[in-house]
Amino acid sequence: MGSRAGSSGRPLLRQKTALNALNSPSRSPLIPIPNPQSPILKNQLASLLHTSARWLAYIGGALLVTVMLMSVASIVPRALGFQPIQGDFELAAIGSGVCIACFLPWSHLRGGNIIVDFFTTALTKKSNQKLDAIGSWLLAICLAVIAWRTGVGTLSVRAGNEESMIMRLPIWWGYAGMLPGLALTAIAAAWTGWQSWLGNDVEHHTRKDA
């Protein structure tokens, strides 16, 4: 279903999403200076972003399944009266933290970051897109700051040799595991902002599940 990074230097293509609109394959991959308006760059960027976000979400899903299986595995011996795994909840907490961070970029690209469109229905599509661009860029800035601070946090937690209470897991693993997700969300938001600014469609959910 997805696109793979081809070795031939051809544009990365075929996304199932709204990006289909952007997929106008160009046959000249050798442009010396990347032009921001170039469909190739747009396609490659779009495709690269979506592919990495999707794979990160798969990794997050795999982590979540691991947490799930681990929790089940810790119940079974306990139910049978054996000694349970000590401190398994610490692994579950760290694992689901990393998993959630891995989910963030995909969620953003799918328009998972809810906006309220109630007050701006009277505006033109163009003005709404400009507002969306600003919104996305603000999100990108916030996430970039969060990623930066979590990075600093990683270093200081590592320097302090902080460990979890029971299993003595190094806490900095959890911090470090969140960095790719946070950073990619910032990049993805910068990109969706740019797309909105150019007037291209990006996915939006106005209100989502409670």
Closest approach of other proteins to the CB of residue 68, in Å? 4
Q: Rounded CA gap, 87 and 90, in Å?
A: 6
Given the complex with other proteins, which of 135 and 170 has the nearer CB atom?
A: 135
DSSP conformation letters of 162-176: -B-TTT--BTHHHHH
DSSP state of 136: H
Q: How far is the CB of 102 from other proteins (least distance, A)?
A: 8
Least Å distance between CB 200 and other proteins?
Answer: 16
Residue (18 or 100) nearer to other proteins, CB: 100
The CA angle 154-155-161, to the nearest 5 degrees, is 90
CB of 40 to other proteins, least distance (A): 27
Integer Cα distance of 135 and 76 in angstroms: 47
Cβ-Cβ contacts under 8 Å for 42 (sequence gap 6 or more): 22
Pick the closest to residue 102 from 179, 4, 5 (CA basis): 179
- For residues 41 and 179, which CB has a smaller minimum distance to other proteins in the complex? 179
Side chain identity, residue 44: Q
Least distance in Å: CB of 85 to other proteins? 12
- Of 15 and 107, the one with the shorter C-beta distance to other proteins is 107
Which residue, 41 or 141, has its beta carbon nearer to other proteins?
141
Token code pair at residue 186: 């910032």
88, 169 contact by CB (below 8 A)? no
**CB-side neighbour CA atoms (13 Å) of 118:** 3
CB-nearer residue toward other proteins: 4 or 35: 4
- Tell me the closest approach of the beta carbon of residue 24 to other proteins, in angstroms: 26
